[in-house]
Structures are given as structure tokens and as C-alpha cells.
Amino acid sequence: MPSIESESFSERMRAAVNLSWIMFSRKVGNGLVPINKEASMQLQYAYVLQQLLPLITFHENENFEIELETGVQVNGRSREIDLLFKGELGEEKHSIAIEMKCYRTLAASGGARGATDIFMKDVYEDFYLLEQYVLSGIAQEGVSLVMNDLPRLVNPKNKNAKCWDYDISNGVSFGPINLTTPIGGKPVNISLGKSYTLSWVQYGDFWFMEAQGVHV
């Protein structure tokens, strides 16, 4: 993982994304920051990252900014990046696109939430989108941040159901891969060009995962 004190400002940015995720995860896991759904996850994570910006600014002509729900065009479709972390050092620019997913067994309304298969597929969909942001030049890096409170998604007893084609369990490796298994009665076509290894960390009642595709 890049160093928070690197002379490279892009490496400092990536290290700040990682450190913010660690601090966010610990705060959520210890009950200091309540997260009910993805929107609150985005806001609270962005707040933690914002606090680090003065600490990773080493030069007068450096500038960092955070955008939430940035609208972009990818392959002819409108998308919104959950968080776009942008940096400049003189003429040099660097952007990190971040997509986030949150699964709670209880919905914000208090009712039980189902659709774990859709959540699993959506994690893979985010990997695809992040790859497309990089291929399109919208960002130079893409990072996926995922949290959930359902242990069987992380450490399943078996993987018999078709939803496990979209395996997000701890330690799984995959990619490049093309996935077409329908979920929720709807067709799916997800092609990933990079390889991934997923690693979850538990704090309190929650599991947290940070993933970035790498070229094979």
C-alpha cells in the first residue's frame, strides 16, 4: 500500500483513501458512527477523508478536493461516481474513483432486508464501473469500499446457490472474468479485465472490505 508520507502526491492520495477507510471502519464498528445505508456511508467516509487533506498537503501548489455523486458519461450511459477524489500538483493531475456498497440485515425503515444476491452482484457491478472509469480516462485509479453485517457473506458454509457466481467471500480471487448469471430475474453481463482478491476485516458487528483491481 502506498505511503501517506510519499513524495508522490498520487501515492499520498491512495494512502489517504486506505487510512480513511481504516479509521471509518473502526468508528463504525465501535458504534461511534451510525451507518444505516449507502448514503450515510458516503457522507461519513467523505468527512473522514476530508480531515486528512491538510495532512497530506506537502507543497504550496498542491490541491485536493472531494466530490460526491459526480455525474459522468461512460460508454454512452450516464453514471454517478459515489466519490471522486481529485488532486493537482502544478500541471499534474490525479483522480481516484471510489464506489461504495453497504448491506444491513435491517433496512433503514427497521424491516428485514433481503436481496443479498442483488447486493453481491452489485459489488461486481461496481468493479466493472471502476474499470470503465479508468479506461475512459475519468480517473486514474478505482477503489471499491464495501461494508456489511451479514457473516455468511464473508464466511459462507457453502456456495451452492447461483448467487455465488458473484462470490464476495473472504479470500476469494477472480478475474479476468465474464459473468452472465441472471439475478432477480434480470439478465446480467459483467466483464472484468483485472484480477481481484477480496479481504474482509471485522470491527464490532460489521465487516469491511477495500478492493482494487490489478492488471494480470
Using the predicted structure, report yes or no on whether residue 37 has a pLDDT greater than 90: no
DSSP letters for 125-150: HHHHHHHHHHHTTS-SEEEEEEEES-
Using the predicted structure, report yes or no on whether residue 131 has a pLDDT greater than 70: yes
Report yes or no: 120 and 163 within 8 Å, Cβ to Cβ. Answer: yes
- What local confidence, expressed as pLDDT, does residue 193 receive? 97
Per-residue confidence at 157, pLDDT binned at 50, 70, 90? Answer: very high
Residue-wise pLDDT tens digits, 57-109: 999 999 999 999 999 998 888 999 999 999 999 899 999 999 999 998 876 66
Residue-wise pLDDT tens digits, 17-33: 999 999 999 999 999 99
Report yes or no: 188 and 180 within 8 Å, Cβ to Cβ. Answer: yes
- What local confidence, expressed as pLDDT, does residue 134 receive? 96
Per-residue confidence at 4, pLDDT binned at 50, 70, 90? Answer: confident
**33 Cβ contact list (under 8 Å, min separation 6):** 24, 27, 44
Q: What is the pTM of this model?
A: 0.95
- What local confidence, expressed as pLDDT, does residue 76 receive? 84
